Each structure stands twice: as C-alpha cells, then as structure tokens.
Amino acid sequence: MTRPPSAGEFEQIVLLAVLRVGENAYGVTIRNEIAACTQREPAPGALYTTLDRLEEKGFVKSHFGDPTPQRGGRAKRYFAVTRKGLAAVTSAQKSYQRLLEGLNLLGRANA
C-alpha cells in the first residue's frame, strides 16, 4: 500500500494562500498573499514549480482565463484547491497543532 502524498512546508504555504485568495488565485495574487502574510516574497520560479508539483499531486487544479491586454494578450492561470489538497493541508496543520500543544510558543513570541 502506498502512502498518500503529503505537502511540504512551502507547498502548505502556497495551498493556504490559494485558499485565502479564493476565486482570483493566480500567479500575482498568490505571490502577493504569501508576501503579505509571511513578510517574504517567494521566488517566481519556486512558486510556479510548486504550483505545478501541487497540480501533479492532485492538490490543486488550474484553468486558463481569458487573455487580457494588460498582460500582453496572455491568459491568467487560475488555481483552486481540490478536496485532496484541502485534506492534505488540514492534516498537516493538525499535526503542527498537536506538536505545539503545551509549548505556549505563540504566547512567548507575542510577549
């Protein structure tokens, strides 16, 4: 029996950003959301290869929108988290929560 694919740290960040942005999730908005929440701008190459990898794993699905003149007639590639992706990120976050229990790290960081 093969283990179900899991999401790495950056993959989880991208999945959460796609979830936060919602229907308008494409390269620029996902990148902006990650930068706003983590205070770190992701490398463009890393973002696209991660989105491709997430799509290969079945965690996100993508479709192309209509071409826009602002983008030189190039279409946006919109992303949406699949049920499998949602399960993977939820499972990973639950693990983090269990590990954090009793440590009071967040309280200390805010102190």
Partner 1 sequence: MPNAALAEWLIARFTDGSRAASAVGDLLELTPERGSFWFWWCVARIILSFTWRRLLAFAVAYLSLAFVHTLSFRVLPLRETLEAHNLHYLALSVAPFSAFVAAAAAYVAICYGLRDELTRVLFLLFAVFSTAMFLWRIPELIFANLLAVVIIVILSTVSPRRRRALLAAALALGIGFGGFQFIRYLWPWYLHLVPLSATGYSLSADALPFLCVAIQAAACDWAHRLALDRTRRVLETLPSEPNS
Nearer to partner 1, 60 or 106 (CB): 60
Q: Which of 37, 52, 86, 99 binds partner 1 (CB under 8 A)?
A: 52
- Which residues are registered as beta bridge partners of 77? 64
Q: Which of 68, 90, 91, 95 binds partner 1 (CB under 8 A)?
A: 68
Q: Does 36 bind partner 1 (CB under 8 A)?
A: no
Q: Does 66 bind partner 1 (CB under 8 A)?
A: no
